[in-house]
């Protein structure tokens, strides 16, 4: 095994440490998984650049010029780069594709957490993490929103990368809100969760 060191912003490191504590995941296994996923994306992207899907040109006709490639974003950290349009469906707004399925699966933890959030949103002005955790941890008072391992499942709904469920929530100072990028989709399916 080879040790590789990364430098990331302090806030991101703190959130990572908290997520590792909440999920009980192995830090080294997570790092290996992230590196494997990065390599897969990078190599797939490089292979796509060399693949030619254009039809063969007819004799005597000039081939159209190749599409202009965007300038590389050297020196810009990956987490600050905009999503690549050609990879939108795979890496950005994953929950937009999953919410329609979750809506029809009331026994699924994602459905139950969203249901609890929407119920609390109707009851109070702001939904707090503590209120959401209490609602999802009460099998007697709220059986339709009970999630046995709430913290693990909720953590998977705050990120849009890797094997996460897809980003649905943003948390700031203990206040939970719906991520802007999936708000329209959730609104369309809202009635299925209530």
* Res 52: pLDDT: 45
* Res 26: pLDDT: 81
pLDDT(85) > 90: no
pLDDT(133) > 80: yes
* Res 61: pLDDT: 57
- The rounded distance, in Å, linking the Cα atoms of 157 and 154 is 5
pLDDT(54) > 50: no
- pLDDT band at 144; cut points 50, 70, 90: very high
DSSP state of 53: -
Average pLDDT over residues 105-121: 94
Distances 131 to 47, 123, 181 between C-alpha atoms, Å? 47, 11, 24
Strands (E), 138-191: 169-172, 175-178
- The rounded distance, in Å, linking the Cα atoms of 35 and 29 is 10
Task: Give pLDDT tens digits for 57-83.
Answer: 455 555 566 555 556 556 656 655 555
DSSP state of 136: H
Distances 151 to 15, 43, 60, 62, 143 between C-alpha atoms, Å? 14, 34, 65, 60, 17
Across the beta sheet with 127-128, what order do the strands follow? 127-128, 175-178, 169-172
Mean of all residue pLDDT scores within the chain: 79
Domain ranges of the chain: 10-81, 94-193
**Do 128 and 175 contact (CB within 8 A), yes or no?**
yes
- pLDDT band at 92; cut points 50, 70, 90: low
Average pLDDT over residues 134-144: 94
pLDDT(47) > 60: yes
- The rounded distance, in Å, linking the Cα atoms of 39 and 45 is 10
pTM: 0.54
Three-state DSSP state, 170: strand
DSSP state of 2: -
- The rounded distance, in Å, linking the Cα atoms of 78 and 76 is 6
pLDDT(95) > 80: yes
Which residue's entry shows tokens 């953590």? 155
pLDDT(10) > 90: no
Token pair recorded at residue 69? 């490639």
**Do 30 and 20 contact (CB within 8 A), yes or no?**
yes
pLDDT(12) > 60: yes
């Amino acid at each position: 095994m080879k040790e590789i060191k990364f430098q990331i912003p302090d806030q991101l490191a703190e959130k990572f440490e908290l997520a590792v504590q909440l999920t009980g995941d192995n830090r080294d296994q997570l790092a290996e998984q992230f590196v494997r996923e990065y390599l897969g994306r990078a190599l797939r992207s490089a292979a796509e650049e060399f693949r030619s899907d254009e039809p063969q040109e007819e004799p005597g006709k000039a081939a159209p010029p190749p599409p202009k490639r965007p300038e590389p974003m050297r020196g810009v950290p990956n987490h600050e780069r905009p999503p690549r349009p050609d990879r939108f469906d795979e890496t950005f707004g994953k929950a937009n594709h999953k919410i329609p399925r979750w809506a029809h699966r009331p026994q699924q933890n994602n459905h139950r957490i969203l249901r609890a959030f929407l119920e609390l949103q109707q009851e109070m002005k702001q939904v707090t993490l503590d209120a959401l955790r209490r609602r999802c941890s009460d099998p007697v008072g709220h059986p339709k929103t009970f999630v046995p391992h709430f913290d693990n499942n909720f953590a998977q709904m705050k990120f849009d990368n890797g094997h996460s469920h897809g980003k649905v929530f943003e948390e700031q100072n203990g206040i939970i809100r719906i991520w802007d990028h999936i708000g329209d989709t959730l609104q369309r399916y809202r009635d299925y969760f209530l």
